[in-house]
Amino acid sequence: MSEQSTDAIPAARGAANRLRCSDPSCGTWLSREEGRYSCPRCGQLVELVLEVDPEVARAWPTRWRGRLPGRDASSRSGVWRFSELLPSTPPGVAPVTLGEGGTPLVELPQLAEELQLESLAVKHLGVNPTGSFKDLGMTVCVTEARALRRDVVACASTGNTSASMAAYAARAGMRALVLVPEGQVTAAKLAQALDFGAVVVQAGDTFDEAFGLLRQLAPRLNLYLANSINPFRLEGQKTAVVELMEQLDWRPPDYLILPGGNLGNVSALGKGLSELAEAGLVAKLPHLGVVQAEGASPFHRMWSSGAEELVPEDHPETRATAIRIGRPANWPRALRALLRTRGLTAAVSDSEIETAKRRLAELGVGCEPASAASLAGLRRMRRSGQVPAGARVVLVLTGHQLKDTAYVEEHLAGLPGIRRAEPTMEGVERTLRGWL
Ligand code: F0G
């Protein structure tokens, strides 16, 4: 077996192979072959359980470093190199990978100073094969679909999940079905899904409506669901924190802040952090911060009011379409992640998101609007004192700048922008008068 091949990564030692109900008060074990997303006893979502021995785990960081992408990055995955933390694949089933992971951590010293922080950096998960963090989970999820010999994968989506799923399905030779809310997905995200050959069905006005429909349809049509209720998605997504800790020399930041929609990502990062702590690889957990858009912030409302149940938002509204979600399926496990990490939440307006996105762009960091919510949220958390001065903070950027170019065109005020000129030297110079 060649060292350059993905098969060379020792997947078989993965210990996260047993499925259990994610509600600790139920804890029912399930067989992986059944391919279930929720517990047959209590209806809560299920998750893979990693059994860690800190003695054994001590050797992992060195081993992981030895698997960093080398000369042939396309054959190495920044997710599967953490195979010890992942579900293993049956013999003969190769991971479905596009070389995901290995994303940059970018320091923002000017912004750290502005916000009186010891340090501030962004972990840019938009720098993945299809331009969002979804790829980290999709490689594991579609690999499981392959192991289960399924041939149609399906998701409801605000756009990024569908782009990612369609790519990995194409890679695996599977068919992809996507349900999206009508007129609510950016042109770029739709184009990705279409380009990868997915069937795209527009149904309903919100993600929640499309997702509700798909959950009913899945058993009737024998669809393998690739939404974040799929436990294998979370396994891949959790590797973002493992890679982050490695980049920080295993010294966790004080706060790790990310946007929240269906709340799969915060659940995944929370799971990854808990596992690293159990493995003895980090001495403390960062506080997880979830930022939602004001018009789609049921989780923030629940957390900040101390309520124990989430009240869905039937008409979610925000220009950050990726997180326009009112009925987040993962809220119970997101709640547990926040309780475990003594986390925090914020809700931000569309105009705060715009300001944050502009500030990141001024510093050369592009992202889609939903991602900029994490900076907008941090500003709020600094103002309210939830995040104290002198803290070390990492923001998660979830999607690429090119995911929503219409947004930039709608928000050109104050930028030099596009100017028209006569096609002569004088003509061009005239339009630049006052700027040069
Ligand atoms: N940021 C971006 C860019 C997203 O696309 C999403 C979710 C989130 C944040 C929120 O993550 O749902 O795990 O809390 N997008 C999903 C989709 C819903 O269909 O692409 P979450």
What region does 116 belong to: left with phi over 0, alpha with psi -120 to 50, or beta? Answer: left
Scanning the structure block, which residue is given the tokens 């003509």?
A: 427
Tell how far the Cα of 248 is from the centroid of ligand 1, in angstroms.
25
Strand, helix or coil for residue 121: strand
The kind and range of the H/E element at 428 are helix 425-432
83-138 pLDDT, tens digit each? 999 999 889 999 999 999 999 999 999 999 999 999 999 999 999 999 999 999 99
Nearest CA to ligand 1 atom 3: 399
Q: Are 132 and 401 in contact (CB under 8 A)?
A: no
Atom of ligand 1 nearest to the CA of 403: 3
117 ligand 1 Cβ < 6 A: no
CB of 398 within 6 A of ligand 1: the answer is yes
Q: Is 157 in the pocket of ligand 1 (CB under 6 A)?
A: yes
- Ligand 1: does its nearest atom lie under 6 Å from the Cβ of 260? yes
Q: In the numeric block, which tokens belong to residue 26?
A: 């139920």
Residue nearest to atom 15 of ligand 1 (CA): 322
- Give the span between the Cα atoms of 293 and 159, in whole angstroms: 17
Ligand 1 site-directed mutation target among 103, 128, 132, most atoms within 8 Å of CB: 132
Predicted TM-score (pTM) above 0.75:
yes
Q: Work out the burial of residue 256: count CB atoms within 10 Å of its CB; fewer than 13 is exposed, 13-18 middle, 19 or more buried.
A: buried
The b/e string for 69-84 (b: 16+ C-beta within 10 A; e otherwise) is: eeeeeebbbbbbbbbb
Q: Are 120 and 60 in contact (CB under 8 A)?
A: no
Ligand 1 pocket, residue 240 CB under 6 Å: no
Show the beta-strand stretches assigned E in 269-383. Answer: 287-293, 344-348
Where the chain has pLDDT below 50, the residues are 1-13, 71-75
Q: Whose CA is nearest to atom 10 of ligand 1?
A: 261
Question: Is the C-beta atom of 348 inside 6 A of ligand 1?
Answer: no
Domains (range + CATH), the chain: 1-131+230-436 (3.40.50.1100)
In angstroms, what CA-CA distances link 54 with 22, 279, 281, 283, 289? Answer: 23, 5, 8, 12, 27
Ligand 1 centroid from CA 259, angstroms: 8
Q: What is the pLDDT of residue 70?
A: 61
DSSP 126-162: TSSTTSBTHHHHHHHHHHHHHHTT--EEEEE-SSHHH
142, 172 in Cβ contact below 8 A?
yes
Q: How far apart are CA 343 and CA 257, in angstroms?
A: 9
DSSP letter, residue 50: -
Gap from CA of 136 to ligand 1 centroid (Å)? 13
- Ligand 1 centroid–CA 221 distance in Å is 25
CA 247 from centre of chain = 18
Please report, in angstroms and rounded to a whole number, the separation of the first and last CA atoms in the chain.
59
d(CA 222, CA 416): 52
- How does pLDDT run across 256-283, given as a tens digit for each residue? 999 999 999 999 999 999 999 999 999 9
